[in-house]
């Protein structure tokens, strides 16, 4: 039943393979994520955002590179660090911002907040405060797609820390046993809170474990949009065409602390700056497309993203809180 297990390195097909409009769209989605997260870093310091936020800056190419291969009807399952996944899958900035500020016009009517944003209308099944909680949900969605024969694919995003959770292994086994159209994306940003992946991932790499389940696996530079896009295209097409599940391990660095407020004593400012200089997905995209796109066109996209995020913050701040009468609405399922 299982496929031959292989672990391979994928190299990128390169920007020339895509029309310029498509390249601009990919950069716009990454730029919006960066502007969103940079602004939330500042907004959180005002004390007006309820609950914890975990920022995705530095990992943009992974979410966008994967989701650019998905159809609106495909689904993703996210993590506690989910803003980038939401935006990459098509959630709109303003209702997301309202949700993070706890307002009634938020995607979940202000009841979810940063760690529980969901928007089923675009196939975003939810961020998730339970580390490692995504893969079991993805196999449920994959089983649904397989049963309905609708050609759908489910993708789970999980961190390197989350990859060590037992239920993640159960989900990978079940996906192989049932040959589900699922792609397990492991975002190895090198840290789980303050614990290095080099310490906590016993096997050394995450992709290598996949072979034990009979899953094909690929390690990819998660800061390079084109490398991620290629690897995800292969895995998603395999899933869609009945070839079963697979694993992608995407390496990156998170630019902010584990959560907003984290003192970040596990890395020096110099190390962080070196990461930002050498592994910034937006800079890497600019370098790789320099022969195809004028820098000024990308600058304009950055400015537009900042303007849109500014407007979303102003809107969310002024928006209404949920009415007290709504406190139990959408909380309990009725069957």
Ligand X SMILES: Cc1ncc(C[n+]2csc(CCOP(=O)(O)OP(=O)(O)O)c2C)c(N)n1
Task: For residues 190 and 194, give the distance between their C-alpha atoms in angstroms, rounded to a whole number.
Answer: 10
Beta-ladder partners of 218: 8, 248
The span from the first CA to the last CA of the chain, in angstroms, equals 36
Q: Is 258 in the site for ligand X (CB under 6 A)?
A: yes
Q: Is 131 in the site for ligand X (CB under 6 A)?
A: yes
Q: Is 257 in the site for ligand X (CB under 6 A)?
A: no
| Owner of token pair 């099944």 | 125
Q: Is 76 in the site for ligand X (CB under 6 A)?
A: no
Order of strands, sheet of 75-77, starting from the edge strand that comes earlier in the sequence: 7-9, 217-221, 246-251, 182-188, 154-159, 75-77
Minimum distance, C-beta of residue 239 to ligand X, in the bound complex (Å): 23
Which of 159, 216, 244, 257 is in the footprint of ligand X by CB under 6 A?
A: 159
Q: Is 134 in the site for ligand X (CB under 6 A)?
A: no
Q: Is 129 in the site for ligand X (CB under 6 A)?
A: yes
CA proximity to 139, closest of 107, 109, 106, 174: 174
Backbone dihedral region of 191: left (phi > 0), alpha (psi from -120 to 50 degrees) or beta? beta
Which of 110, 113, 123, 162 is in the footprint of ligand X by CB under 6 A?
A: 162
Q: Is 48 in the site for ligand X (CB under 6 A)?
A: no
Q: Is 80 in the site for ligand X (CB under 6 A)?
A: yes
Which of 22, 170, 193, 299 is in the footprint of ligand X by CB under 6 A?
A: 193
Interface segment toward ligand X; rule CB under 6 A; list 77-85, 175-183, 224-232, 275-283 = 77-85
Task: For residues 309 and 306, give the distance between their C-alpha atoms in angstroms, rounded to a whole number.
Answer: 5
Q: Is 123 in the site for ligand X (CB under 6 A)?
A: no
* Binders of ligand X in range 93-112 (CB under 6 A): none
Q: Is 49 in the site for ligand X (CB under 6 A)?
A: no
User: What is the β-pairing status of strands 195-196 and 191-192?
Assistant: antiparallel
Interacting residues toward ligand X by CB under 6 A:
79-81, 129-132, 159-162, 189, 191-193, 258
């Amino acid at each position: 039943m299982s496929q031959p297990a292989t672990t391979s390195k994928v190299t990128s097909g390169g920007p020339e393979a895509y029309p310029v409009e498509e390249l601009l769209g990919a950069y716009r989605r990454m730029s919006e994520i960066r502007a969103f997260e940079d602004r939330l870093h500042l907004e959180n310091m005002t004390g007006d955002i309820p609950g914890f936020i975990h920022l995705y800056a530095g990992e943009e190419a992974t979410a966008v590179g994967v989701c650019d291969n998905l159809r609106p009807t495909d689904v993703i399952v996210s993590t506690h660090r989910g803003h980038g996944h939401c935006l990459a899958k098509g959630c709109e900035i303003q209702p997301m911002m309202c949700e993070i500020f706890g307002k009634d016009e938020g995607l979940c009517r202000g009841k979810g907040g940063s760690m529980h944003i969901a928007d089923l209308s675009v196939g975003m099944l939810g961020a998730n405060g339970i580390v490692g909680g995504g893969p079991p949900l993805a196999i449920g969605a994959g089983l649904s797609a397989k049963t309905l024969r609708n050609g759908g694919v489910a993708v789970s995003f999980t961190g390197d820390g989350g990859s060590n959770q037992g239920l993640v292994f159960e989900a990978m086994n079940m996906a192989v046993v049932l040959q589900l159209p699922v792609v397990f994306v492991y975002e190895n940003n090198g840290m789980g809170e303050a614990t290095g992946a080099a310490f906590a991932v016993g096997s050394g790499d995450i992709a290598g474990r996949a072979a034990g389940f009979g899953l094909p696996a690929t390690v990819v530079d998660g800061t390079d949009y084109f490398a991620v896009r290629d690897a995800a295209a292969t895995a998603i097409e395999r899933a869609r065409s009945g070839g079963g599940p697979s694993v992608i391990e995407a390496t990156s660095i998170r630019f902010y602390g584990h959560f907003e407020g984290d003192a970040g004593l596990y890395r020096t400012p110099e190390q962080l700056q070196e990461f930002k200089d050498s592994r910034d997905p937006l800079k890497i995209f600019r370098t790789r497309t320099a022969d195809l796109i004028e820098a000024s066109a990308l600058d304009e996209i950055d400015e537009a993203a900042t303007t849109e995020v500014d407007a979303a913050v102003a809107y969310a701040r002024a928006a209404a809180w949920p009415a007290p009468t709504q406190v139990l609405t959408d909380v309990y399922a009725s069957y």
